[in-house]
Structure 1
């Protein structure tokens, strides 16, 4: 039995709230401000990696049943390592600490004397993680909070922003695009969309989203898969609409304020022009809400995964642990944890994309010999070596070869590994059977 459309809206809004973090606010706004006349070509690339890939990732995990089953098509050891690293890098090492830090910088720092920041930060982050834990305390009820309370609040502020942009007046998009957009607007848009890391997050969200769908009365696997895909599609449409508005608004502001340094400056200028003095408070509230939503969503998903992995440690203890890590990262020397997570996600991102794409290949292709181990394995290897080379870790004889590969300068050298893996898998599948097998058949 499926859900009512009302419950589908709540589940879809819950998923939107989990995806829509601070990066999803500032990246499209800055893209619009810097792309100039190439804005919509850049937006098309952005939408592929920031919308299409996350939706496809949710659908891939839903069709397989879990992230472990999807990654298990490569190898059980790979499934464990990839899943653990993905959850750790996306959650407690990156987004969970950044959520409190970014919201403090937007909600508190502008209104405080700089000498008081270190005094107020611990208290703020303690309250922030306390609220996030309350939202995530019961994973199967996450939709009751994000889908019915905080998510609608975010949509309300965004709706006011859209109305303000319309009445503010659409300036013509002008100005020369940044050199990266001028040379390759589509490719730059693809890279900017990857910065949201939502394709990786999509692989993590299914575990808790499924709990919330089941709580709405969906029990069988087929309907659960269908409802998850419907929620992902709804979220994709909503994200596309919001990104389009933010990009358009960023283009308007960029033509009038070309000196803006980043997406935060663009949004601050827009909210100030549209709403006047209250604009700063409204933008601060928006930042706090989106940070709370993503933090609560990741706390819930990461805790649920590690509780399943280590049943001896309860779900709520995992929440306390990850919140404590976030608190320490914001207030102590652990603030460099995100610097560790970024390269890990950069290495995991290409094999994640390949896993998602392979999962949608038709049945005959799925039966190719070694399709997943060869394709994902070579992709992961080139992703690791490529990221090491780009980071300046030079391996004699290897790094030179990596640097000569097609698409290396664009950051897509791993595509060579994916194509090679598919061709090898196809070749092995077309090879004749071993002679021993043929003789055995003849004897029989």
Structure 2
């Protein structure tokens, strides 16, 4: 159960999501606990329920929508794939990589040139289905977790306990954290990739539906605790940071500021590079998933190769926007699709 729990945690622990919690803390200040409560629901509990409900219903998202019209579930699945693919998630990973890992080290590099290089790598590795992504991922996630643990522990130890004065009421802080949790996209990812976790549980000998549900529940508890500690720690660091409030807030700049002030230059460079590489592997995995989805949906009319190329091109164009710009346009899409997925889950 613990092994599956960590697998579930790895699925939800997206490096690109790390830019969100510090911003929540900065915006809500002394009301950060209320914001964490809202974020906890949409970014941690809801994705866990997504996997759990799919496990209870069957093995994939379409099983969850058995009581709805087949055409509706197909359209909804398409919208979800586009959100966790070329419309939002993939371009955001590229933009995050540039702003966190490239721009601070190579400020003269054009973002358009970077997009060509980044998606050239994504395209090449997605088409070759190289195992280098899995190999890098096995080392990157533990390394990133260690650096983040160090960042949070030292941050709590070193920073003053005085939080930024709240500019939101407790209710406003809760709602802000709740809606900001949409940007993790983990609820959408949970219902699509739940099959991976369910297969892992089945392979361990839990073949009955009630057994799968029980194991998934306890695995989800492990994942929930890990995510709560990391996200909660980062929200707190955002609430006590000395980031200049007069400055226009950039989520990526805020994360870099916090890591530099706590870990120093080399520590912040380490976390920036780790996040950038993790975003690259995430982009490759999502691009491959998009290609496979359209190949299956169209019964090979759109080949895997065509799907991967189209996804990479669309993502490259959208990634030229800043991370904050992508988040700003994404919220309009997510405010529409999230309630529908929530309804199916609950």
TM range (shorter): 0.7 to 0.9
Structure 2 Cα separation of the partners of residues 115 and 150 of structure 1: 25
The DSSP-based 3-state class of the residue aligned with 2:88 is: helix
CA distance in 2, matches of 1:195, 1:27: 8
Deviation at 1:51, TM superposition (A): 0.9
User: Structure 1 residue 36 and structure 2 residue 29: aligned?
Assistant: yes
Task: Please say if residues 115 and 316 of structure 2, whose CA atoms lie closer than 8 Å, have aligned partners that are also in contact.
Answer: yes
SS of aligned partner of 1:173: coil
**Residue number among 255, 258, 261 corresponding to 2:245 in the alignment:** 258
TM superposition shift of 1:332: 4.1
| 1:27-426 equivalences in 2 (<5 Å) | 27-65=20-58, 66-114=60-108, 116-131=110-125, 145=135, 148-167=138-157, 169-178=158-167, 180-181=168-169, 184-215=172-203, 219-254=207-242, 257-259=244-246, 261-299=249-287, 301-312=289-300, 317-318=303-304, 320-332=305-317, 343-357=332-346
Q: 1:371-401 deviations in whole A, cap 9, x for unaligned?
A: xxxxxxxxxxxxxxxxxxxxxxxxxxxxxxx
SS in 2 for 1:276: helix
Please report the RMSD computed on the Cα atoms of aligned residues, expressed in angstroms. 3.3
- Structure 2 unaligned regions, length at least 5: none
> Which has the higher mean CA deviation after the structures are superposed, 54-63 or 276-285?
276-285
Equivalences, count? 340
Name the CA shift for 1:133/1:158 in 2 (closer, same or farther; >3 Å): farther
Distance 1:184 1:154 in 2: 32
| Segment drifting more, 333-342 vs 345-354 | 333-342
Identify if the C-alpha distance between structure 1 residues 15 and 131 changes in structure 2 by more than 3 Å, giving closer, same or farther: farther
How far off is 1:333 after superposition?
Answer: 7.3
**Shift in alpha-carbon separation, 1:160–1:340, aligned structure 2, 3 A:** closer
Equivalent residue number for residue 12 of structure 2:
19
Cα gap change, 1:287 to 1:321, in 2 (>3 Å): farther
RCO higher in 1 or 2 (8 Å CA, sep ≥ 6)?
Answer: 2
Task: Tell me the CA shift for residue 77 of structure 1.
Answer: 1.7
The structural deviation recorded for 1:90 is: 2.0
Give the C-alpha shift of residue 47 in structure 1: 0.8
For 1:116 and 1:60, locate their aligned partners in 2 and report how far apart those are by CA, in whole Å.
Answer: 44
Q: Highest Rg: 1 or 2?
A: 1
Q: Distance in 1 between matches of 2:38 and 2:223?
A: 18
Structure 2 counterpart SS, 1:110: coil
Deviations 1:241-268 (A, max 9, x none): 10111011111215x6434513322211
**In the alignment, is the contact (CA less than 8 A) between 1:137 and 1:300 conserved in 2?**
no
